[in-house]
Chains A and B, each alone.
Chain A
Amino acid sequence: MARAPTTSDAFNAVAEPRRREILDLLAKGERPVNELVRQLRLGQPQVSKHLRVLREVGLVHVREDGRHRLYRLNGRPLKSIHEWVKNYEQAWSERFDRLDDVLDELKREEDSDGGRHE
C-alpha cells in the first residue's frame, strides 16, 4: 500500500500502527523518548520521527525537563477523530453483525451436508 506522502492531519497520524502504540503508551502518562524507545523496541530515529508527526498534528505536546524532553498525549484532536470515525465504524459493525448471522446459517448448512463443499 502506498504510504501517505506526509501526515498533515491527525487522521493519517493515527493510521500508522506504531504511532497508535505511542499514543497508547502516552495515554498512561508523560514519558521521555528513551522510555518510548525501550517499550516499543524501535530505534530512536524512528521513534523521534513518529513523535515529530504526532507533534505536528497536535496529538502530543513536549516540554523540556533538564536533559530530558518529556512527551504527553493531547487527547483533544483524538477525541474529535474518534467521534467522527466511530459513527461510520458503527454502521459497518451493524452490517457485519448481520453477516455473522448469515455465516452461522451457512456453517450449519455445510455441517448438515456432511461437510461436502468445494
Chain B
Amino acid sequence: MVDVMSKNRAVVTLPTETQILIERDFAAPKHLVYKAVTTPELVSKWWVGKRGEMKLAEIDLRVGGKWRFLMIAHGKFEVGFHGEYREIVPNERLVSTECYEGIPDPDAHPTVNTMTLRQVGDVTKLRVLVQCESKEQRDAIINSGMEGGMQEAYDLLEEIAVSLQ
C-alpha cells in the first residue's frame, strides 16, 4: 500500500505538487538525533547510506552559515550538495537550502528543507519537508532516488549472490 507505516522505515509522501515529505522515527532522544545530523564526523558515518563513500562533510552551524556534503558514488563519480542555514532552533528545527551540484548553475535551483524533531517518550519523530521550486524539480529529485534505489537493489543482489557461493 501507499502508506507503509512500519515503525522504523522512512515514509515519503508528496503533500503538494512542489513538496516532498520524509518522515522517520528514531529510538533515541532528539538531542542525539540533532547531534548526528549537525556534526560533520557523524554525518560522514550515515549520510551516504549504501551509495558510496563520504569524501567531505562541512557544516558551519549558524544562520547564514554554509554546509557541503560530497560523496564518491561507488568509487566512480562525485556527488555533491551544498546550501546555507536559514533558521536554527537547537534540537528542534533546522531550515536550510540545498543545491545539487550535478546540474548547471546549482545555486539558482535550491530547495528549502525544513527538518523538525519531536520527541514522544523514547522516540524522536523526524520530519523533513523539501520545498521545491517547481513540480519538475520535485519529479527530478524523486527520479534521482530511483537511480539510487536501483543501485541498492543491485548491491543487495550482489551480497546475496556472494553469500550463496
Name A's B-contacting residues (CB within 8 A). 1-4, 8-9, 11-12, 14-15, 17, 20, 23-24, 27, 78, 81-82, 84-104, 106-107, 110, 117-118
- Known A4-B16, A87-B145, A89-B10: A95·B2 in contact at CB below 8 Å: no
- Known A82-B2, A99-B26: A93·B9 in contact at CB below 8 Å: yes
Considering the complex of A and B, which 8 residue pairs feature the smallest CB-CB distances, nearest first? A88-B145, A87-B149, A94-B49, A98-B46, A95-B49, A92-B10, A91-B148, A103-B28
CA distance A77 to B50 in the complex (A): 30
- Known A102-B42, A103-B27, A117-B31: A90·B2 in contact at CB below 8 Å: no
CA distance A85 to B11 in the complex (A): 10
CA distance A98 to B129 in the complex (A): 20
Count of A-B residue pairs with CB < 8 Å: 132
Contacts of B161 in A (CB 8 A): none
Is B36 touching A94 in the complex (CB atoms < 8 A)? no
Most chain A CB inside 10 Å of its own CB: which residue of B2, B10, B145, B149: B2
Most chain B CB inside 10 Å of its own CB: which residue of A1, A86, A90: A90
Does B142 count as interface, using CB distance less than 8 angstroms? yes
Is B46 touching A95 in the complex (CB atoms < 8 A)? yes
CA distance A84 to B14 in the complex (A): 12
Which B residues between 1 and 56 are near A, CB-CB below 8 angstroms? 1-3, 8-17, 19-22, 24, 26-28, 31-33, 35-37, 42, 45-51
- Known A87-B148, A91-B149, A92-B10: A1·B15 in contact at CB below 8 Å: yes
Is B16 touching A90 in the complex (CB atoms < 8 A)? no
Name B's A-contacting residues (CB within 8 A). 1-3, 8-17, 19-22, 24, 26-28, 31-33, 35-37, 42, 45-51, 129, 141-142, 144-146, 148-150, 152
Is A103 touching B12 in the complex (CB atoms < 8 A)? no
Partner of B17, one of A1, A12, A92: A12
Contacts of A88 in B (CB 8 A): 12, 20, 141-142, 144-146, 148-149
Contacts of A78 in B (CB 8 A): 2
CA distance A8 to B16 in the complex (A): 10
- CB B57 to nearest CB in A, in angstroms, measures 13
CA distance A106 to B46 in the complex (A): 13
Is A86 touching B31 in the complex (CB atoms < 8 A)? no
